Structure 1
């Protein structure tokens, strides 16, 4: 990299070269003293007045150069342009050339005019010494080198040739190579320095860029030598590890630095060795990465690579946010969002993990399922938010009472528990029942007190026989048993339950086949006018005669159909058959069909009813549809819309089993109803108990005020019928007092027989 002309040299480098012309001022002072003293010595020996003048001239030139240097020092060099630097170069070179010109004159005069050996030797020696110093002082300017060597050597060459001395002439010619050599030396020094300045500048730029990149990277970086001494460390590494300033840590042992951090910052005392040990494993390829958790919720992920010289590069980053996000996602996957309890999958993992950790431990364990009784009524009355708060309160109490048991949320309003090893079955049974008793009672949610009962089913077994799915089924069977007996009860699994479960599954399969093959039949229970003079309507009741078990009670197979999701198929069959049968009866007799909650979950029931009426030709006014309060628990607004649509078509809507629900009275004013069917439970003991009779009369009067027709179910005795007629407590009567459920063809026969007057039955017969 040769600066052949100043125009190629960057301005700042050019300025530094020119500034060097004003440097080393002490050597100038020494030089002027030597020059003046030499001239005075020659003047004293040769009595030449010229050398006195030259001595004075050296002093004057020195003074002038000092004045120039002083002015140059005061110049604002940052504002100097390239032309301004050239201007100052010429001024500084002119001052230096003045001194060398005086030296050349003194030497030439001594050679040609004086002919004195001392004068010649003194002048030439001082001049040559000055020429040597020219390289060291004026390398920065080719102009200065050329001008000073020319002004020194030319007078000596001319005067040597003028002396007409052959040997002097030869020596004088040798000054030309000396001049060229001096010039080449100065150029070499200048080029060398120029290359080094440029290289240093590039190195500085690269170093600055590296430093900027190193200290602005989001990762911490530590580079160590084979002895584990820190060679490079960035600010991010110091911030993450809280180990001080990077400049103070270079050449320090990394293990000592980490131990210092453990002693005076947030690290645990075991973590420095862990970092070093795992760093070695990562660098050697035994681990791909390592994640270390520090106090203050800091998580750092480390990676390392081995350097060719045996050292290592350690890179790490703060992954606390990622770790927290992963933990949150993992928590969402493992735990129920509402109660914070483990979900079914994670509960299974916790149970299996417990069993794996205690493979040799002996003793019984228990698996339990809890179900909140009638929890849907809470959502219906108070809303789902209050229901959620109550559910959380129940979950908290279960957790508090669980002690060592593992608790999870199964689904909806059900919880599951696993009780670890106990010393014997009796102790474990007692612990399960203690917990069940402890969680019953009052709960507070949204400033409301709820009396809550939970039904429970559990299974006791030896731990080596535990299988999650199998024993979950057994606990469910025990839960079903407890719920069928009493609300809030608890039952332990018994082997007989397996048989009943298998039998029930077979019964479900047979029911599905019967529904698919239309193997059900229909009986009709007539509804008479209160005086028994005429049949107004007949309720269609599904019947199933099993080929092996005989008649299956409706409450059994209807419940099974609802569990299996085929109740709508039964409803469709009954609607089609009932409408067709009704067309064979006298025109004043209507038919009534029950709808389930599943039937009213979507608008498909509208098309089914239309199809049944269209296929049979039955008028909509002769079709009654009965619903129960359970139909309104889920999506009551949608159910009301469907009922309103059916009623608008001319179909009569009745609410069945009135009085058995949780809030029956609230439905009378909000639903599109025509008929209220009073449940048989209202008639119990009305003959003997005046209060029950008053309750019945009050309910009937309320319904009449709302313009609703009254049907009383389950009237079995003439005494009950007499009371109902005495107080005009019903419009239609349905019950054994007049007739049980009969086949379709019997409805017309009964209707015709009434021409001779009704004959109330004194004893009910089972249909």
Structure 2
């Protein structure tokens, strides 16, 4: 690499070359002494005053150069521009050329004028020696080398030629190659130094960047040689391992450093050897990486690789945040977020883990399910926040009283418990019942006292007969038995319950076949105007007559259908059949169909409704769709979007059983509704209980303020009807006071009968 001209050479490099012209000043002093002494000796030998003059001139030039050097030393080098550096180069070169010019003149004068052999030898020898030193002192400036060589050689060449001596002329010509050689040597030195300066700068820059990267990288890094001595260690590694400053650890044994950290820092005594052992395993490829947990909640993940020279590179990072996040996620996956109890899946894992550890142990095991009685009413009356607090309080008491039992949250307001091996069945049975009794009673939550009862079902079986799903079913059967007998009771599983369970499973299979074969049929309960003069709508009600068991109550087979996931098939059947039947009724009568929570979980219901209307030819305005509050709990945004789409198609939307949910009033304003069907529980005691009547009237008033139509369900007595009409508390009446559910053909007959009954009234009014 050749140095560029001053305009392109880096300024600091150019300045260093120029500065070299003022260096090595002691050699200049030695030189001026030799030069002046030589000239004085020649003057004494030849008796020529010229050499006395030259000796004095050499001393004066030396003094001038020293003065220039002092001025150059005082200059602020960092502030110099290229032009200023070049000007200083010329000044320094001129001073150096002054000495060589005097030497050249002295040598030339000795050759031509004195013709004294001593004078020639002395002057030429000193001059040539000085020329050799030009390479060592003035390599930094091509101008200096050229000017000094030219200024000393030219007088000798001219004087040699002037002697008209052939051999002297030949010798003088040889000065030209000497000049060129000197010039080439200086250029070579300059280029070599230039290349080294540039290389050193690049190495320094790379080293600085490497050091910066090491110091700022988020990972700890340690490089060791084949004997495990530390060659490189960055600041992050020292901070993470708390083992001192990096500059103090060079060439130290890594094991000794780690053991020192274990002795005086936060590491356990076993961890240095663990790190070294796993470092070896990672480096050998038996481990890709390893995670080591330290005190103070620090987790470091290590990886290592073997180097070609036998050493290794160890890289590690602080993954404490990630580990904490993973632990938190794992806790969220395994434990119930509200109560902190294991969820059903992790509960099963804990039970299986216990059985695996105690596989050789024999004895009875217990499995119990707890269900909080009437917990829904707590949410309805006190709100979900208080309900959650109560649930947590119950969970805490269950966990405290459970002893060695494993406790989990099954779902909603149910808990599940596993009782480990007991001495005999009687002892375990007594323990389970004692626990059930202990968790009943009063709970203080949000400054409110709740009297809580929990129904329980449990099963006690031998450990070799354990199967999680089977035991869960048995305990659930026992729980169902408890709730059907007396709330707050506890029932142990009995084998007779299996028969009932098998019977229920058979009933499910029969229901699946009935739905697949469209073996259900519909009844319709009409909705009358408040004065009973006209049928406005009829609600489609699914009915199932079992070939062996007879009529199955709707609440039984609908619940089974929801458990089996076939409720949407029933909804489709009811929609298609109801729309067909409605086409046989008078045009002013609409049909109402109930949608389940499952129906509203996705947009498939939109196509089902469209297909039913298209298949029957029924106008969309004659179709009413009823939803319950329970269908709004899981995904309210999805349900709202589906209802809005249905309503935009001119289908009427009604909310059924209004007043039984946990936040009924909020739905009136947020959902796309047309009709509110008030639950029969509002009507049951309105004649005897004035507060119930006021509550009903307030709800009706609120709904009407929002532009909603009112349907009151479950009106059974004439007194209830009179009271509702007196206060104009409804638009439509649905109940036995007017009609029970009837077959489809009866709707038309009832409508005709009402028309005949009201016709004389209309004629009398006209008359």
Answer whether TM exceeds 0.5 for this pair.
yes
The equivalent residue for 2:217 is 217
Cα displacement (A) at 1:609: 14
Q: Name the CA distance, whole Å, in 1 between partners of 2:382 and 2:274.
A: 56
Q: Residue in 2 aligned with 1:98? A: 98
CA-to-partner distance for each residue in 1:102-155, whole Å, 9 max, x for gaps? Answer: 112222223333333333332222222212211111111111112212222232
Taking a change above 3 Å as real, the CA distance of residues 64 and 559 of structure 1, as seen in their structure-2 partners, is: same
Q: Which runs of 5+ in 1 are unaligned?
A: 523-540, 584-594, 613-626, 679-699, 710-731, 734-744, 746-767
Q: Is the 8 A contact 2:656 2:677 kept in 1?
A: no
Shift of 1:39: 2.1
Q: Partner residue of 1:737? A: none
Inter-CA distance 204–598: structure 2 relative to 1 (3 Å threshold): closer
TM-score by length of 1: 0.72
CA gap 1:358/1:658 in 2 versus in 1, 3 angstroms: farther
Partner of 2:281: 281
Conserved? CA contact 1:475–1:493, under 8 Å: yes
Structure 1 segment 226-245 matched on structure 2, within 5 A? 226-245=226-245
- Counterpart position of 1:29: 29
In the aligned structure 2, how far is the partner of 1:344 from the partner of 1:564? 22
CA distance in 2, matches of 1:473, 1:133: 107
Which residue does 1:207 correspond to in 2?
Answer: 207
What residue is the counterpart of 1:564 in the other structure?
Answer: 560
CA contact (8 A) 2:282 2:288 kept: yes
Aligned to 1:109: 109
Q: Which residue in the other structure is 2:156 paired with?
A: 156
Matched, 1:452 2:452: yes
* TM-score, L = length of structure 2: 0.72
Instruction: Name the residue aligned to 1:762.
Output: none
Partner SS, residue 370 of structure 1 = strand
Give the alignment of 1:682-701 within 5 angstroms. none
1:304-703 matches, within 5 Å, as: 304-507=304-507, 509=509, 517=519, 557=553, 560-565=556-561, 632-633=660-661, 636-637=664-665, 645=675, 655-656=683-684, 669-670=697-698
Q: Secondary structure at the match of 2:315?
A: strand
Partners of 1:521 and 1:154 in 2: how far apart?
133
| SS of residue matched to 2:479 | helix
Q: Which residue of 2 aligns with 1:263?
A: 263
User: Matched residue of 1:371: which SS?
Assistant: strand
C-alpha displacement at 1:68, in angstroms?
Answer: 0.8
Contact 1:658-1:676 at 8 Å conserved across structures: no
Cα distance 1:158–1:647, how it changes in 2: closer, same or farther (>3 A)? closer
Deviation at 1:370, TM superposition (A): 0.4
SS in 2 for 1:632: coil
DSSP-derived class of the 1:423 partner = coil
- Residue 504 of structure 1, CA deviation: 3.5
Distance 2:557 2:283 in 1: 66
* Distance change in 2, residues 1:664/1:39 (3 Å): same
Given that residues 632 and 639 in structure 1 are in contact (C-alpha distance below 8 angstroms), is that contact kept between their aligned partners in structure 2?
Answer: no
Q: Is the CA contact (8 Å cut-off) linking 2:520 and 2:545 kept in structure 1?
A: no
Aligned CA distance change for structure 1 residues 142 and 501 (closer, same or farther; 3 Å): same
C-alpha distance after superposition, 1:32-60 (max 9, x if no partner): 11212222223333333222222211111
Which whole-Å CA distance do the structure 2 matches of 1:512 and 1:239 have between them? 68
State how 1:288-307 maps to structure 2 within 5 Å: 288-307=288-307
CA distance in 1, matches of 2:138, 2:348: 90
Matches within 5 A, 1:136-147: 136-147=136-147
2:753 corresponds in structure 1 to: none
Please list, as runs of the form range in 1=range in 2, the aligned pairs for 1:668-747 lying within 5 A after superposition: 669-670=697-698
Q: Give me the whole-angstrom Cα distance separating, in 1, the residues matched to 2:362 and 2:714.
A: 64
Larger radius of gyration: 1
Q: CA shift at 1:307, angstroms?
A: 1.9
Q: Which residue of 1 aligns with 2:644?
A: none
- Aligned pair count? 640
Matches of 2:396 and 2:143, distance apart in 1: 96
Match of 2:49 in 1: 49
Most deviating of 86-95 and 165-174: 165-174
Distance of aligned partners of 1:349 and 1:72 in 2 relative to their CA distance in 1, 3 Å threshold: same
Q: Secondary structure at the match of 2:456?
A: strand
CA contact (8 A) 1:676 1:708 kept: no
Higher alpha-carbon deviation: 93-102 or 195-204: 195-204
Give CA deviations for 1:342-366 in whole Å, capped at 9, x if unaligned. 1111111111122222222322221
Q: Secondary structure at the match of 1:308?
A: coil
* Residue matched to 2:250: 250
- Aligned equivalents of 2:424 and 2:686: distance in 1? 50
Query: Residue 176 of structure 1: CA displacement?
Result: 2.8
Report if the CA contact (8 A) 1:572-1:608 is conserved.
Answer: no
How much has 1:27 moved relative to structure 2? 0.9
Deviation at 1:197, TM superposition (A): 1.1
Deviates most, 311-320 or 138-147 = 311-320
Residues 609/144 of structure 1: CA separation in 2 closer, same or farther (3 Å cut): closer
Counterpart of 2:421 in 1: which secondary structure? coil
- Alignment-derived partner of residue 72 in structure 1: 72
Q: Contact 2:682 / 2:696 at 8 angstroms: preserved in 1?
A: no
CA RMSD of aligned residues (A): 4.6
Q: Does the alignment pair 1:62 with 2:62?
A: yes
1:67 deviates by 0.8
The answer as to whether partners of 2:401 and 2:438 remain within 8 angstroms in 1 is yes
Deviation at 1:266, TM superposition (A): 3.2
Q: How much has 1:442 moved relative to structure 2?
A: 0.6
After superposition, the C-alpha distances for 1:214-243 in whole angstroms (9 at most, x for unaligned) are 333333333222222233333333333333
Deviation of 1:543 (Å): 11
Name the residue aligned to 2:630: none
- 1:613-671, CA deviations, whole angstroms, 9 ceiling, x for partnerless residues? xxxxxxxxxxxxxx9999724664499999994889xx99984589999x978855556
Give, in whole Å, the separation in 2 of the partners of 1:270 and 1:478.
53
| Alpha-carbon spacing, 1:487–1:62, altered in 2? closer, same or farther (3 Å) | same
Deviations 1:560-610 (A, max 9, x none): 33532489989989x99xx99xx9xxxxxxxxxxx99989x9999xx9998
